[in-house]
Structure 1
Amino acid sequence: MKRGRSRARRKDIKRAALRELELPDQVDEDADGAQPDDEPIGWQTSAATMAGAARLARIGVWAALLAGPLLGGAALLGGSAPGAAARPTPSTSSMAASGTGPAGFAQLYVQAYLAAGNGTENNVAPYYSGTLSLNNPPAARTAATTVVMASTQVSPGYWSVTVAADVVAHPQGGSATDTGLHYFQVGIEATGPEAAGGAQQGTGPVGYTATSLPAEISAPSSLRPGVLVYGASTLSSTDPAQATVSGFLSAYLTGTGQLGPYTTPGVVMNPVSPAPYSSITIAGISDDNPAGAGGSTTVPADGTLRRVLAQVNATSDAGTFSLNYALTLRARAGRWEVHALDLAPHLAPGSAGSMPSPAAGTTQPPVAVPAATASTATP
């Protein structure tokens, strides 16, 4: 009953609004008809105008009444949604500058510098545009190989790159001699976007230049490695893990047999191709069992993991060479299977490399110390 009355009320409101809309037409017809001669025309026009304005006002009221629920709903929805001005603007953070470009440029620069000499200074011009006059004969030294050891950003667009070079000396009238590794530090200035080592954001032209000749520096210090998780014990031939490791590495290095029978189902590995060795022997295997597993003849429950480090003697036409392989084994159905070829031997928890103590009669390379620290240092 209430719904019926509500519907009837809404219909009455609409009919009243329509009647109001029709009234202006009736007024216009009366205005166009005959008018009494004794009434001023101006007054009649003014009265009609005011009547029309009053009717328009009433129409506006009805329109507001009819549109009220719609406007209210729109206002409610508008209040619940954040306005466009209130939406946070995504922040654009600058990406970290890449040292790949400056590092590659420094490698090429060191190679050209080592091979250049008196009369061939122009070979260095693409890398260093400063005034250059070399005293050594051309090709007195060459780099057999080079590798970047460090690339440090000194300031935006400016890099310090350390290059290791295996330098071969070519004395006049003598045979070439490998002089070992030499380390060179060079300053490289980069222009262009951060992705190329420059200081600009976005895209743009890229360019590099060396700011000076290379400086030969001392070699980086070598660390003492941390303690590994593997014990000193060697697995015996009765340990089922011995056969798994031997069979897997033989197939992996010599191409004899398949890897599938030795790996966990679902683990996909590819042998070294072409096979570099004709045969291998296992010189020893240690695992991460603190008590040692050299005499173990049983395999634990399925899913048990075991880490092993294998010492391999691999033979080719060039000789026999020693290799180490860190493997993770997984128990399944009473046998051990290779679950992973580890990226590196596992360190014991809490273990880390340490700097070696200088040997007697040797000195440590100089270390730069900030002035504030140096002034308070104890002699």
Structure 2
Amino acid sequence: MRRRRIPGGDQAAGKKPETGAAGGWVTVSSGALANLSTMLRWGAWLLLVLGVLLSTTAHLRLSAEAPRTAQPPAKATPASGEAVGPGGFAVLYVAAYLEAGRGTEAALARYFPNMRNITLEAKAGVQHAEQLAAVQVEHVSTGYWSVTVAGRVTATPSAEEERDEEQAKDKDEPDQAGALRYFQVPVRTAADADGYVATALPAEVGAPETGDGVELNYGSPVPGDDKDETAATVARFFSAYLAGAGELDRYLAPRTALRPVSPAPYTQADVAQLAELGGDYRRNLPASDGARRQLLVDLWAAAPDRQLRPLTYALTLTARDGRWEIAALNAAPSLATPKEK
């Protein structure tokens, strides 16, 4: 058989395809392919790690913020001490109790809820409370106190009572109107923890014990002396502070802010005696810059009616430029440290 010859077959069989741009193919070396593969692999790992970090950061931020937004706003707490609230409540309660009477029970129910079940027999408004104050607050248990309230109770007398009162005065009988009376009040925190309630009616009691005298941490006092520069400075300061005599600022240390009592309640202030903290008072002590003194000063202050009133102040003095200046009026005298037994 004769084979049929295909035109161009030899060329088609033996000719290699063209490479490069002319042939429509791009040739890449094996090294370049390896580098590209490595870059893609590291890029994928980088994206994975970055995603984990962003997710963790967002989770931690939400975890930290969630409790803060979920917490209810805190209630304001009084800065003046735990006993102030119950004491003030008890004073108001006793005032309402003393003036209450038949038909005014509702006025007490706001303080003592069980008052709704009690009927008063006395006439309302017959007596009035004056100068009421909480003189003792005893902590009974958590949220529960016993408050002793002192006050002067006066009555609104009828014509007959006024006549009897005049007769009693003629007989030199003691006047009971000026005597202090004491009432013990049980006070507890209200159920909603936003206020107080009384758990019973007030109980009239005897006066609480006055206690022993208080020992202060000052040495022996010495009389005021105009020849003592410190005493003279203190006297001039109080004359300006209490009597409006002269400028107050000239006696004050830098950055000490004090205003004179206005209107001036006294016409003159004299130093009766001085005592020094922790030791005996020393007259004419040199005013070395930066030195400090803590003094207890007793004054005689003359009122416009020429009556002398005793006053006591605790002072802090500092030295500057060879003179003593008033640095502070202390809130209270320093107490002596209890001695160990």
Q: TM-score scaled by structure 1?
A: 0.62
RMSD (CA atoms): 4.0
1:116 aligns with 2:105: no
Listed as ranges, the matches of 1:18-97 within 5 Å are 64-72=41-49, 75=52, 83=60
* 124, 134, 141: which one aligns with 1:148: 134
Correspondence for 1:161? 147
1:284 aligns with 2:273: yes
Correspondence for 1:347? 335
What is the CA-CA distance between 1:137 and the residue it aligns to? 5.1
Correspondence for 1:329? 317
Distance 1:79 1:16, change over 3 A: closer
Correspondence for 2:18? none
1:211 aligns with 2:210: no
Listed as ranges, the matches of 1:247-286 within 5 Å are 247-286=236-275
Name the CA distance, whole Å, in 1 between partners of 2:142 and 2:317: 47
Aligned partners of 1:151 and 1:160 also within 8 Å: yes
1:185 aligns with 2:184: yes
- Return the letter of the residue paired with 1:149: V
What is the CA-CA distance between 1:257 and the residue it aligns to? 1.0
Q: Which runs of 5+ in 1 are unaligned?
A: 1-7, 18-61, 198-207, 353-379
Correspondence for 1:320? 308
What is the CA-CA distance between 1:271 and the residue it aligns to? 0.7
Q: Which runs of 5+ in 2 are unaligned?
A: 1-28, 167-174
Distance 1:286 1:11, change over 3 A: farther
Instruction: Kindly provide the CA deviation profile for residues 300-338 of structure 1, in whole angstroms up to 9, marking residues without a partner as x.
Output: 311111122222111123422111111111111111111
Distance 1:12 1:293, change over 3 A: same
Name the CA distance, whole Å, in 2 between partners of 1:10 and 1:165: 104
Q: TM-score scaled by structure 2?
A: 0.68
Correspondence for 1:231? 220
* 67, 88, 112: which one aligns with 1:104: 88
- Return the letter of the residue paired with 2:199: T
- Return the letter of the residue paired with 1:308: L
Aligned partners of 1:169 and 1:177 also within 8 Å: no
Secondary structure of 2:260's aligned partner: coil
The percent of aligned pairs where both chains have the same amino acid is 34
Instruction: Report the count of equivalent residues.
Output: 287
- Return the letter of the residue paired with 2:245: T
Aligned partners of 1:314 and 1:321 also within 8 Å: yes
Distance 1:11 1:266, change over 3 A: farther
Secondary structure of 1:281's aligned partner: strand
